[in-house]
Amino acid sequence: MEEVSKSVAIIGGGFSGIFSLKEALENRLSATLFERENAIGGLWNPESGAMWDNMCTNISFVSSMISDYPWTSIPPEREFPTNQQIFKYLSDYANHFKLYENIQCNAKVTKVSRNHQQGGYQVEYINSATGQSISKAFDFVIVATGILKSFLSLATLKEEELAAARRKMFDSICGQLSIPSLFIEPDQPSFLAISDDYCKQVRDGCLIFKKAKVVEMTKDSLILDDGSLERVDDVILCQGYTVDLSFLEQEIKDAIQYIESDTIQPIIAHKEVFCPSMPGIAFIGIYKSADTTVMELQARWATKVFSGAIKPPTDEEMRKDSIAAAVQAMPDLKSLSTSNPSLYKMLYSNVNTPLIYRLSTNNTQHNDRAIQIIEEIDKLYYHQPNKSNL
């Protein structure tokens, strides 16, 4: 009797989802890909994506090649392909591997929850053509919803308006800006990449630097936290993206330690793919990099694990993922929260220091010294009214 193949729901039809679908089918999984837009492509989709008309890749065709579907003409006419060529490349790949019959477009996934009785997961989605809400059971779920689409919210403008504005701006106004103002939130750490010209531009008055928090953006102005209003013609948003995983039920969000507002590391997963105590769900392409090579490898790994071709990592292996765990220096913060709550509070709220990796050693001398310094720093910098945070 032929074995019934396991089912997998893949959420997202960009590179990550399309790689996952092809690998899932190759590993004999019964796969369905859900894409909320009316076509695949994700960020490269010419209608709903994020590319402006004349945008080219910043990674050469050599590095952004699909490992089992090389560019047909090598070298192609350009070393850095246009966004239209990339979209065509992905669409051709989907055609070549006959993926379209397993793709459902206009299907926005609204909820993924664990199916505690039967095992596996329940996936709910809305068919945007009919408005119908549908729920289906799957053995496995692959989340491939991307990381570069949801802007950090600035209230009034809708995401589509912002996306359209972004495309238009790069096409038409680059190089024609008058004197730009740079707004930096005063009490947030800034991850600034400062250009060689930055200081000169500020000195020459070509760039005006303002320390203010923008609390709202309207069509022609910015509203600052001191209540003042700043008229602007154009806005370049550089405050990062949030990863929208709102469709995951709370139990799954807790397992991956999802923090929506964290623009650097919104989820914690082993090799950015699996997480302990949540078998059967994998994340593809949910990491900060623009590298399709890693997405492809992640997709190959996840689908081989789901098909049983290779063993999944154990919970213990996943928990020992960090270098600190490998050298047995991971502090046990949970027990610290009861054994020494004031130290726990200092570490959690104030003092961010490598000394924490000396707290769990058997060497009491190291241990005591680390605690002593942490307490001194906490006292010096966080308990004086006029000292700002480190």
Does 290 bind ligand FAD (CB under 6 A)? Our answer is: yes
The two three-digit tokens of residue 113, written as one number: 């929850």
The two three-digit tokens of residue 19, written as one number: 């790689």
Does 281 bind ligand FAD (CB under 6 A)? Our answer is: no
Q: Spell out the residues 6+ positions from residue 41 whose beta carbon is closer than 8 angstroms to its own.
A: 13, 14, 49, 87, 90, 91
Report yes or no: 281 and 121 within 8 Å, Cβ to Cβ: yes
Site string for ligand FAD, 212-251 (x = CB under 6 A): -----------------------------------x----
Among 58, 117, 384, 389, binds ligand FAD (CB under 6 A): 58
Task: Give the binding-site size for ligand FAD (rule: CB under 6 A).
Answer: 33
Give how far Cα 365 sits from Cα of 115, 326, 368, 378, Å. 49, 22, 5, 20
At 58, the amino acid letter reads: N
Among 9, 142, 144, 355, binds ligand FAD (CB under 6 A): 144
Does 146 bind ligand FAD (CB under 6 A)? Our answer is: yes
Q: Measured between alpha carbons, how far is 131 from 19 in angstroms, rounded to an integer?
A: 28
Kindly state the DSSP code that residue 80 receives in the 8-state scheme: S
Does 99 bind ligand FAD (CB under 6 A)? Our answer is: no
For 291-348, give the secondary structure using H, E and C: CHHHHHHHHHHHHHHHHCCCCCCCHHHHHCCCHHHHCCCCCCHHHHHHHCHHHHHHHH
Does 32 bind ligand FAD (CB under 6 A)? Our answer is: no
Kindly state the smallest distance separating residue 55's Cβ from ligand FAD, in Å.
6
Give how far Cα 5 sits from Cα of 29, 63, 117, Å. 6, 34, 20
Site string for ligand FAD, 295-314 (x = CB under 6 A): x-------------------
Kindly state the smallest distance separating residue 299's Cβ from ligand FAD, in Å.
10
Does 149 bind ligand FAD (CB under 6 A)? Our answer is: yes
Report yes or no: 329 and 357 within 8 Å, Cβ to Cβ: yes
Does 14 bind ligand FAD (CB under 6 A)? Our answer is: yes
DSSP string, 274-299: B-TT-TTEEESS-SS---HHHHHHHH
Kindly state the smallest distance separating residue 335's Cβ from ligand FAD, in Å.
38
Does 8 bind ligand FAD (CB under 6 A)? Our answer is: no
Does 148 bind ligand FAD (CB under 6 A)? Our answer is: yes
Among 7, 57, 91, 122, binds ligand FAD (CB under 6 A): 57
Does 93 bind ligand FAD (CB under 6 A)? Our answer is: no
Span from 33-41, 92-100, 211-219, 254-262 in contact with ligand FAD (CB under 6 A): 33-41
Question: Which residue is it, tokens 């709202």?
Answer: 216
Strand partners, 159: none
Span from 24-32, 51-59, 266-274, 318-326 in contact with ligand FAD (CB under 6 A): 51-59
The two three-digit tokens of residue 17, written as one number: 């989802």
Kindly state the DSSP code that residue 103 receives in the 8-state scheme: E
* Contacts with ligand FAD, residue ranges (CB under 6 A): 11-17, 34-37, 42-44, 50-51, 57-59, 64, 108-109, 144-146, 148-149, 247, 285, 290-292, 295
